[in-house]
Structure 1
Amino acid sequence: MLVLKSWLLAALVAGAVPALPQDSISSVVKRGIEYTVFNHAATGATLEIVANSGICETTPGVNQYSGYLSVGEDMNMFFWFFESRYEPHTAPLTAWFNGGPGCSSMIGLFQEHGPCHFVDNETTPSINPYSWNTHSNMLYIDQPIGVGFSYGNDPVNSTVTAAPFVWKLLQAFYAHFPEYESREFNLFTESYGGHYGPEFAHYIQQQNAAIATGSVIGEPINLVSLGINNGWFDSSIQEKSYITYALENPYRPLINASAAAKYTHDYETICAPALQNCSTLTTADACRTAADTCADIIEDPILSTGDWNVYDIRRPADDPFPPETYVDYLRDEAVMKAIGARSSYVECPDEPYVKFAETGDLSRSLLSTLSTVIQSGLQVLIWAGDADWICNWVGVHDVANAVEFPGQKAFQHTPLQPYEVDGVPRGMVKSVGNFSFLRVFEAGHEVPYYQPKTALQVFGQIIRGEGVYST
């Protein structure tokens, strides 16, 4: 049923505005799965939901919902929602997005911080005591369409074109679950989330402003924090960090000094000018060329130097780590039916990635958008596990120092200080105002997998608006 705001109800009574179409609830059976169907009149979206599947979250009394948002003709975006284990009726709401571009958020759910995880390559999940729904109601979203369990037509070919579909899903979610409308909302992501996070947050803020002026009909989203671990934000900064990290990381050198000097020269004379050309021309061709050029002269040569994993340099290149036993679990027909999944699970399909690559999205900087979001006063955390090469902490730290906001100079001159969890050093941190950077020790690309207790502490501190501090 449509929930009318008091001002709108008064206007309707007075005859000042026409009656709006009504939301509706029904049921449908598709592929042997029965869904509750919620039609959201304002956006034209349809939510098809199954409740309390008993999969993953087995804590008594904790509700979960999963299913699809249809955002257009044969456009089906999968989501999975878990109530908070504690005080779900007052806890905030957090949305999680994995990166890629084009990787499923089931990675974050099952490998990192969801209610269940797979221990020591077990084939069935067990309860995760460090799940982020300890502190928040959690919403995991497979986007763009074609990723994970999402399926159908995929019009998304860039970070900017992805944002409206995410907003549309959140609008439909709020309409069906109005108890979350006024809650504080947090956006957390990783990897290509260095693109997703700033743009999605900025788009939400823009829509909020448009709703306030009446130019857009919708629910304002009470966005209070943004967290991005091991993110890809700005190629000009982070391509160079591939060289620095390969030489100076805390675990083992991947290249020697003479190789680093050669790569640095190639970066300055070939890669950086190509990236500048992308920034100046902003065309797909220029930005594709920049990505290909830097891969050819920086990334690929460094990758060929030895047997090491780009997501955790301490491990061999072909080591499937973290373990991916959850993939087979999600492809089990019984599990799929229970959670309402109608498409076979695909973790990181090629097609969505290719679409982003073809528009040059990979080389487009999100630093300016990140700066704008931080300037808005949003609580922002950029953090990184220090065993990751692909989005390494050196480059992420350099990005943090390049953010333009009133506290930039103070931030740049603030030294990193030890970050402790229960008195044990787990990283190095610095903060100025609403902006924090954290390096996490002994962690690869997926920080919450390697350091779950640390990640849970950090997550809780940020969504409560406390900043990042040792315990």
Structure 2
Amino acid sequence: MRFTTLLTSAISFGVALAAPAQLDKRYIQEENGINYHVFEHAATGAKIRFVKNSGICETTPGVNQYSGYLSIGSNQNMWFWFFEARNNPTTAPLATWFNGGPGCSSMIGLFQENGPCHFVNGASTPSNNTFSWNNFANMLYVDQPIGTGFSYGTDDVSSTVQAAPEVWRLIQAFYGQFPQYTNRDFGIFTESYGGHYGPEFASYFESQNAAIKSGSISGTNVNLVALGINNGWFDPKIQYQAYIDYSTSNKYNQILSSSQASSYHSSYNSQCGPALSKCTGLTGSNSACENAENTCYQTIEGPISNNGNFDVYDVRAPSNDPNPPETYANYLAQSSVVKAIGAQSTYQECPNGPYSKFSSTGDDSRSLSSTLASVVNSGIRVVIWAGDADWICNYLGGFNVVNALPWSQQSAFANLQLKSYTVAGTARGLYKSLANLSWLQVYAAGHEVPFYQPATALQVFKQTMSKAPLSGT
């Protein structure tokens, strides 16, 4: 979700070819009563420790799962939970899922959205999710940055750019421990603040692939074929204005009158917009970008979100809406569950610490549109989609961002007409696709699209990971 309220060079995370040869290590280690399989990855200096087949969440016979930590440095422990594909795991692609925030746990996606189990109607224990994305792909869920979810230790990350190298190191170490996945098609899927994470992570992975190919670093190529972002926060200049327009034009809940909208547009033009103009993308000063974030929240986002009793993640519901159910967090607080999965910290869904670090650099106010355009131009299959009942990262803002995206076929894409997107013959949204870029507006879905429309979400995921444009069925 997106909250309402050590820059390192690429080469430093690779290994110079002249470095002395080192050997990977594997062993069993006991820590606080938990026995871990441990893998020390010589190439990155990272260490993975995990438990296998905890019996938690994925109960499909014969489907393996692994949960634990990637440790880097002296006190940085990034939580991951990996599920093999339920079908054809030895040939199925590999995909990662990141929730947003910044600083929100990917256990949200695992338990509320697209993981192997879910909590139906707020049940106290999980049950099988027949629409889990590991029906099709091997799925890796990651809590990042440090301090998020079950991750713990020293958090040195205060921006999207700084987050990317640590995620790359995790994937490199993961390939070292599980070499059978190294040549698989690889996808990055994310939501909300993932409109920042997704483009930057994909771009960084591609730059590392190029450095590996040129011989300037050593490492394992990541066969990145797909990027999917639902209800993403990409470009504040466009999306703060969309807060106003969506509040008057969405079909579910008129939040603002036309006169109120006019007043907010004036505030945008006189305060929020000029402040954002001083935050020049990824290179803008921290102070200018932090000021823009504060100014736009105080003049646009904050006042509108408090204008009436509605849930910013689903405008159809009151602010105390119980869905998606939060009972999974109570489950993850049980000591027996914590021990079984190999967690060493208390679960925190969206802690303030990581979020505050990102706020201190004004990361929220930096546009990732040009980075996203570079990923599209590289030929990777990209789908940008959004549930149409979400306010905080609403579909109107996402639609305007994708139409304005400065890629090679921007004009043709912007002029392309929307078509009905069907799932088993039923209309589930409006979409358009051109070359390797697709857009989809999902009907009757809030911020976490796979929770509201699981069959639609699985179809989108399968098509995108198959390197195909969206198409109705």
* Pairwise TM-score range, normalised by the shorter structure: over 0.9
Residue 167 of structure 1 corresponds to 168
Q: Are 1:183 and 2:147 an aligned pair?
A: no
Residue 395 of structure 2 corresponds to 393
Give the secondary-structure state (helix, strand or coil) at the position aligned to 2:122.
Answer: coil
Residue 235 of structure 1 corresponds to 236
| CA 1:61–1:214: 2 relative to 1, 3 Å | same
Residue 210 of structure 2 corresponds to 209
Q: Are 1:29 and 2:26 an aligned pair?
A: no
Residue 467 of structure 1 corresponds to 469
Q: Shift of residue 319 of structure 1?
A: 2.1
- 1:366 maps to a residue whose letter is L
Q: Are 1:43 and 2:34 an aligned pair?
A: no
Give the secondary-structure state (helix, strand or coil) at the position aligned to 2:120.
Answer: coil
Give the secondary-structure state (helix, strand or coil) at the position aligned to 1:230.
Answer: strand
Q: Shift of residue 18 of structure 1?
A: 7.3
CA distance in structure 2 between the partners assigned to 1:241 and 1:415 by the alignment: 20
Residue 330 of structure 2 corresponds to 328
Query: Quick check: 1:70–1:77 contact (8 Å CA) kept in 2?
Result: yes
Residue 65 of structure 1 corresponds to 66
Residue 367 of structure 1 corresponds to 369
Query: Quick check: 1:71–1:169 contact (8 Å CA) kept in 2?
Result: no
CA distance in structure 2 between the partners assigned to 1:347 and 1:395 by the alignment: 26
Q: Shift of residue 19 of structure 1?
A: 5.6
Give the secondary-structure state (helix, strand or coil) at the position aligned to 2:26.
Answer: strand
Q: Shift of residue 216 of structure 1?
A: 1.1
Residue 438 of structure 1 corresponds to 440
Residue 352 of structure 2 corresponds to 350
Give the secondary-structure state (helix, strand or coil) at the position aligned to 2:278.
Answer: helix
CA distance in structure 1 between the partners assigned to 2:218 and 2:284 by the alignment: 32
Residue 4 of structure 1 corresponds to none
Q: Shift of residue 269 of structure 1?
A: 1.7
- 1:453 maps to a residue whose letter is A
CA distance in structure 1 between the partners assigned to 2:79 and 2:157 by the alignment: 15
Give the secondary-structure state (helix, strand or coil) at the position aligned to 1:120.
Answer: helix
CA distance in structure 2 between the partners assigned to 1:153 and 1:347 by the alignment: 18
Q: Shift of residue 64 of structure 1?
A: 0.4
String of CA shifts for 1:365-388, please: whole Å, max 9, x gaps: 000000000000000000000000
CA distance in structure 1 between the partners assigned to 2:19 and 2:275 by the alignment: 54
Q: Shift of residue 17 of structure 1?
A: 6.9
| CA 1:17–1:200: 2 relative to 1, 3 Å | closer
* Unmatched runs of 5 consecutive residues or more in structure 1: 1-15
Q: 1:315 aligns with which of 302, 314, 317?
A: 317
Q: Are 1:406 and 2:408 an aligned pair?
A: yes
Give the secondary-structure state (helix, strand or coil) at the position aligned to 1:226.
Answer: strand
Give the secondary-structure state (helix, strand or coil) at the position aligned to 1:388.
Answer: coil
Query: Quick check: 1:428–1:440 contact (8 Å CA) kept in 2?
Result: yes
Residue 423 of structure 2 corresponds to 421
| CA 1:330–1:435: 2 relative to 1, 3 Å | same
Residue 4 of structure 2 corresponds to none
String of CA shifts for 1:206-245, please: whole Å, max 9, x gaps: 0000001111111010000000000000100000000000
CA distance in structure 1 between the partners assigned to 2:401 and 2:19 by the alignment: 49
| CA 1:466–1:18: 2 relative to 1, 3 Å | closer
Give the secondary-structure state (helix, strand or coil) at the position aligned to 1:70.
Answer: strand
Residue 79 of structure 2 corresponds to 78
String of CA shifts for 1:159-183, please: whole Å, max 9, x gaps: 0000000000000000110000000
- 1:169 maps to a residue whose letter is L
Deviating above 6 A after TM superposition, structure 1's stretches of 4 or more consecutive aligned residues are: none
Residue 382 of structure 1 corresponds to 384
CA distance in structure 2 between the partners assigned to 1:200 and 1:299 by the alignment: 27
CA distance in structure 2 between the partners assigned to 1:404 and 1:378 by the alignment: 15
Residue 94 of structure 1 corresponds to 95
Q: Shift of residue 320 of structure 1?
A: 3.1
String of CA shifts for 1:374-429, please: whole Å, max 9, x gaps: 00000000000000000000000000001122221111101111100011000000
Alignment identity in percent?
57
CA distance in structure 2 between the partners assigned to 1:401 and 1:429 by the alignment: 12
Q: Shift of residue 55 of structure 1?
A: 0.5
* Unmatched runs of 5 consecutive residues or more in structure 2: 1-16
CA distance in structure 2 between the partners assigned to 1:447 and 1:166 by the alignment: 24
Q: 1:340 aligns with which of 316, 328, 342?
A: 342
Give the secondary-structure state (helix, strand or coil) at the position aligned to 1:186.
Answer: strand
Residue 13 of structure 1 corresponds to none
Q: Shift of residue 63 of structure 1?
A: 0.4
